[in-house]
């Protein structure tokens, strides 16, 4: 395959821009279903960025349904029919953009939490626990903690049993990442990790218990906290 890897300007949100370049290559047919992406080391060298940035870009592509990752093997482009929708990228998120994002996330993620409580399997709970453990272990390794956060929410979407939730949440994953990054800039990391862990654990426990009403309430509390952490004065109605 003849794929052009253009180095990224430092002023841009690096993982999102790298993910966008891969999406363009896939849409142009330069990367086809079944093609394996180069290794993290190769991509790091080609793009002129750290391997941490590459891992975040790959995670974003996975959440958007463009690729799949196989443990110990690598990342592969998936069939077009299985791909998710993708919104045009927004490099900057101002207050109004955050407001629009939460207007979508609020009903979408609350309902996803309720459905996940009704339809979850032991494997879904194991994946939620794994994401929680990764967030707790990340400490100062912010990128892995942020990726684990995205994986936690994606697992909830998958647990609904409704692929539309996976597609729509995948489509806004780069915006959600902006929310996480902004929160980490505004709040002391140790404090942020503690409060987010409390919110996520409440979600996990309600879903594991099969309590749809409590899962919805736990997600509402989490969304309210998330909006507050990006200084958004947002109306959350019962």
DSSP for 90-130, please give it: -S---HHHHHHHHHHHHHHHHHHHHHHHHH--HHHHHHHHH
Q: What pLDDT does residue 144 have?
A: 74
Please give the average per-residue pLDDT across 201-221, as a whole number: 97
In a domain, 88, yes or no: no
Same domain membership, residue 122 and residue 58: no
Confidence of residue 28 (pLDDT cuts 50, 70, 90): confident
**Who's near 27: CB < 8 A, 6+ residues apart?**
none
Same domain membership, residue 71 and residue 161: no
Using a 10 angstrom Cβ sphere, with 0-12 exposed, 13-18 middle and 19 or more buried, the burial of residue 220 is middle
Same domain membership, residue 78 and residue 112: no
pLDDT digits (tens, 9 = 90+) for 42-66: 999 988 888 888 988 888 888 777 8
b/e burial code for range 94-122 (CB count within 10 A of at least 16 → b): eeeebeebbeebbebbbbbbbbbbebbee
pLDDT of residue 80 exceeding 70, the answer is no
- CA-to-CA distance for 11 and 106, rounded, in angstroms? 30
Select the highest-mean-pLDDT range: 75-84, 150-159, 164-173. Answer: 150-159
Same domain membership, residue 223 and residue 122: yes
Q: What pLDDT does residue 127 have?
A: 94
Same domain membership, residue 152 and residue 177: yes
Indicate the average pLDDT of the chain: 84
Among the three residues 22, 56, 82, which one is the final residue of a domain in this structure?
82
Among the three residues 82, 114, 135, which one is the final residue of a domain in this structure?
82
pLDDT of residue 229 exceeding 80, the answer is yes
Q: What pLDDT does residue 214 have?
A: 98
Q: Considering only 1-5, 39-43, 178-182, which range has the smallest mean pLDDT? A: 1-5
75 vs 63 pLDDT, higher one: 75
pLDDT digits (tens, 9 = 90+) for 123-140: 999 999 999 998 888 665
pLDDT of residue 108 exceeding 70, the answer is yes
pLDDT of residue 147 exceeding 90, the answer is no
pLDDT digits (tens, 9 = 90+) for 156-196: 999 999 988 988 888 888 788 888 888 888 888 888 889 99
Q: What pLDDT does residue 10 have?
A: 41
Give me the domain span that covers residue 20: 14-82
pLDDT of residue 34 exceeding 80, the answer is yes
In a domain, 66, yes or no: yes
Please give the average per-residue pLDDT across 5-21, as a whole number: 64
Q: What pLDDT does residue 88 have?
A: 54
């Amino acid at each position: 395959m003849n794929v052009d890897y253009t180095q990224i300007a430092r002023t841009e949100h690096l993982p999102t821009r790298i993910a966008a370049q891969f999406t363009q290559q896939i849409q142009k047919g330069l990367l086809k279903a079944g093609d394996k992406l180069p290794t993290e080391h190769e991509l790091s060298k080609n793009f002129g960025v750290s391997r941490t940035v590459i891992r975040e870009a790959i995670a974003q592509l996975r959440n958007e349904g463009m690729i799949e990752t196989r443990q110990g093997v690598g990342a592969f482009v998936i069939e077009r029919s299985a791909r998710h929708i993708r919104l045009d990228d927004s490099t900057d998120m101002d207050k109004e953009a955050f407001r629009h994002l939460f207007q979508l996330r609020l009903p979408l993620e609350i309902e996803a939490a309720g459905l996940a409580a009704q339809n979850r399997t032991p494997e879904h709970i194991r994946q939620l626990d794994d994401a929680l453990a990764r967030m707790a272990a990340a400490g100062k390794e912010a990128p892995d903690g942020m990726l684990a956060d995205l994986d936690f929410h994606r697992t909830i979407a998958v647990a609904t049993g409704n692929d539309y939730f996976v597609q729509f949440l995948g489509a806004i994953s780069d915006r959600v990442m902006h929310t996480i990054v902004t929160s980490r800039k505004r709040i002391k990391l140790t404090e942020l990790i503690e409060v987010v862990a409390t919110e996520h654990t409440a979600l996990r426990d309600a879903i594991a218990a099969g309590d749809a009403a409590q899962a919805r309430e736990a997600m509402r509390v989490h969304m309210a906290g998330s909006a507050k952490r990006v200084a958004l004065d947002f109306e959350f109605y019962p």
